[in-house]
Amino acid sequence: MSIIHKHARLSCLFGLGTALLFGLQSGCAVGPDYQPPKISAPAQWTSPLNGGETNSPVSLAQWWQSFNDTNLDLFMLTAIQSNLTLKVAEAHVREARAERDVASGSLWPSIGSSASYSRNRYGANQFPPLTGFGIPLDYNLYTAGFDAAWELDIFGGTRRAVEAANAEIGAAGYGQRDVLVSLLAEVARNYIGARAYQQRLAITRQNIRVQQQILDLTSNRFQNGLSGELDVQQAVALLTTTEADVPSLETGFDQSVHHLAVLLGQQPGALLDEISAEKPIPLTPPTVPIGLPSDLLRRRPDVQSAERVVAAATARIGVAKADLFPKFSLTGMAGLQSVSANNWFDYASRY
């Protein structure tokens, strides 16, 4: 009966000790608790909405489809899949997640293992009495074991580090979205700019043809004495000025196409043949839902990323404060050790 009581008492003490350890692990963490900032923004826009703008909720998933341009839709999807800057931002998110896993790993015990073999010899004059009892000076030593260590997060330094890592994941995610928003806007701007240069070139070339006809007519009238030389010079100057606009418009078109190709992760001239076919400028959507000022502030990824950075910095204060307090660790090791391989796995070889 006494043995049973002893086992029960030991089990009770072990249970209390385990509960105490976990209670200490989940105790209060030092440092300030992060409080999200309160956003104060007007409920309505101060300026009147004209041209189809509405306060309706914004659809950010595929906003470019409201332009009804198949080429623009294709370029947007290609940019999302192939843009190199966006891939870097995605890699930053994966990096932040890996760092969070590293930080959270400190909450658990660390276990290591080792195995070794050594051939040893004592000097005959090191322990002279041993030689008289027939103890060999040469011997083998086989060792195998494992060790474990667990640093108790009593003051919450590790938990604050995990909290900061989670906030940094959010900041990286919003940073990726910031890159995505800017990327899609640049793709749309350059594509619409390229189509606009095409239309301006078409109009300019049409004006050149008309002005050339006017110059021919004016020259004919001058030769027949029906008009003065001044009219001819004015027609020549007007034609020359219009022709001078063509190189700058062609350069603007090429630059827009080159920028668009780079945004799509391609060589600068890769899209010239594809976009050289003249097409109209995408039409302005009939309605543009812009949402409320408060919604715009909350959905801006740069603002959301900055808020997560502040949250991470607040948690880092707790990490620094926890370093001011003592650290408590549980450590242990166990294994087998023998001078002979025959009895290495015997129960008596334990340590």
Residue-level pLDDT at 4: 41
Residue-level pLDDT at 278: 85
Contacts of the segment 180-183: beta carbons below 8 A, 24+ positions apart: 180/80, 180/86, 180/89, 181/301, 183/79, 183/80, 183/83, 183/85, 183/86, 183/263
pLDDT averaged over consecutive 10-residue blocks of the chain (351 residues)?
A: 40 44 61 85 72 64 82 91 93 94 90 88 66 66 89 90 94 92 92 93 93 90 82 90 93 93 90 86 76 76 91 93 91 88 84 87
Cβ atoms within 10 Å, residue 154: 21
pTM equals: 0.73
Residue-level pLDDT at 60: 64
Residue-level pLDDT at 59: 64
Residue-level pLDDT at 231: 85
Residue-level pLDDT at 276: 85
Residue-level pLDDT at 58: 62
Residue-level pLDDT at 196: 93
Cβ atoms within 10 Å, residue 198: 21
117: three-class secondary structure by DSSP: strand
CA distance 347 to 242: 100
Determine the length of the chain: 351
Residue-level pLDDT at 268: 86
Residue-level pLDDT at 54: 66
